[in-house]
Amino acid sequence: MSLLEVHDVSLAFGGVKALTDVSIDVQPGTVTAVIGPNGAGKTSLYNVISGFYRPQKGSVRFDGADVTAVKPNRRAGMGMARTFQNIALFRGLTVLENIKLGAHHYLRTGLLSAAWYVGRAAREEAELRREIEERIVDLLHLADWRDAPVSALSYGLQKRVELARALAMRPRLLMLDEPVAGMNREEKEDMSRYILDVREQWDVTVLLIEHDIGMVMDLSDRIHVLNFGCKLASGSPAEVAADPAVIEAYIGEQR
């Protein structure tokens, strides 16, 4: 059964049709990519899946349950984690504090125990610290930047911290929005490797929006292609690369 199923979703803003009858599915344990030229509706699709936009038509099912109308902040608890195209880290906090925020939805510390700190809150924070250090900081090589304010980090590092924060959510579905946009070759290779490491060690399903076709071909098990808000094709990398509609959209008509 699919972990995530987007079924016949249509989304329009006034006269602008962002998505028309788009259906995609994501199988558990895979890396699935959504690609398409700029303006194809990829981020709108993510925003529908995250719950920020309600589609005029269609549904989103996560692990069998219909989540189309569920409020955005309830989805973290269901296992959905997401990064943003323009980095959405909290600049007033350090790297570690940003990562710790990923755990917000499952931590139990309330107002009173937080005010007192000694006891329940202290234990929870220490436990959280342990988990982050052991599972995330080492994996993503962030040890040197733990206490740095995120505004002091390079673009590539910030993207890595965003990935780290998403992991701290203990997600079942990890949605990445252009994780290597704006990076040089070396940074892109590092990030690709991190994504693969994550998939191995964390037993998480990855959904990926990306422009770098090479990376997409290398990483993905399955690809969905969007263009002008419609789905063009779905399939394995080889199938999609050979699909004439896809070729036409990207390169132009075959001569």
Partner 1 sequence: MSLSKSLHLLGPRFGVLPLSHADAERRIDDPLRRAGLAALAAALVLLPFVANAYIVYMACLVAITVISVVGLNILTGYTGLLSIGHAAFNGVGAFACGVAATRWGFPFWLAIPFGGLVAAAAGILVGLPSLRIKGLYLAIATLAAQFIFLFVVQHWESVTGGDRGLQMPSPDLGFTRLDSDFKLYWLIVPVAVAMCFFASNLFRTRIGRAFVAVRERDYSAEVLGIDLLRTKLTSFALASFYAGIAGALMAYFFRVVNPEQYGFGASIFQLTAVIVGGLGSVLGSILGSLFMVAVPELLKEAVVFVAGADATKSAVFLASARELVFGVLIVGFLLLEPFGLAEVVRRVRARLAVWPFRS
Partner 2 sequence: MNLFIEYSLVGLASGGMYALIALGFVLVFKATGVFNFAQGELMMVGAYVYLAVTQLLGAHWAFGLLATVVVGFALGALVERAVLRPLAGQPTLAIVMATVGLGLILKGTAGLIFGPDQRQLAELLPRKPVFLGDILIPGGVFWTFVVSVSIVSACLAYFRFTRGGVAMRAAASSQANAYAVGINVPMISAATWGLAASTGALAGVLLAALNSLTPHLGDLALAVLAVLIVGGLDSLAGVIVGGLVIGWLQAMTGAYLGGSWREVMPYIVVLLVLLVRPHGLFGRKEIERI
Residues in contact with partner 1, shown as a per-residue x/- string from 22 to 61 under the rule CB under 8 A: ----------------------------x-x---------
Of 181 and 241, the one with the shorter C-beta distance to partner 1 is: 181
DSSP for the chain?
A: --SEEEEEEEEEETTEEEEEEEEEEE-TT-EEEEE-STTSSHHHHHHHHHTSS--SEEEEEETTEE-TTS-GGGHHHHTEEE--SS----TTSBHHHHHHHGGGGT----HHHHHH-TTHHHHHHHHHHHHHIIIIITTTT-GGGTTSBGGGS-HHHHHHHHHHHHHHT--SEEEEESTTTT--HHHHHHHHHHHHHHHHHH--EEEEE-S-HHHHHHH-SEEEEEETTEEEEEE-HHHHHH-HHHHHHHT----
Pick from partner 1, partner 2, none: which does 114 bind, CB < 5 to 8 A by kind? partner 1
Total residues at interface with partner 1 (CB under 8 A): 44
In the set 130, 189, 203, 218, which binds partner 1 (CB under 8 A)?
130
Q: Which of residues 191-220 bind partner 2 (CB under 8 A)?
A: none
In the set 30, 43, 84, 247, which binds partner 1 (CB under 8 A)?
84
Of 133 and 190, the one with the shorter C-beta distance to partner 1 is: 133
Total residues at interface with partner 2 (CB under 8 A): 4
Q: Is 43 in the site for partner 2 (CB under 8 A)?
A: yes
The least distance separating partner 1 from the CB of residue 241, rounded to whole angstroms, comes to 32
Q: Which of residues 71-130 bind partner 2 (CB under 8 A)?
A: 84
The least distance separating partner 1 from the CB of residue 75, rounded to whole angstroms, comes to 8
In the set 125, 190, 221, 243, which binds partner 1 (CB under 8 A)?
125
Query: Two tokens at 104?
Result: 């917000």
Interface residue list for partner 2 (CB under 8 A) = 43, 47, 52, 84
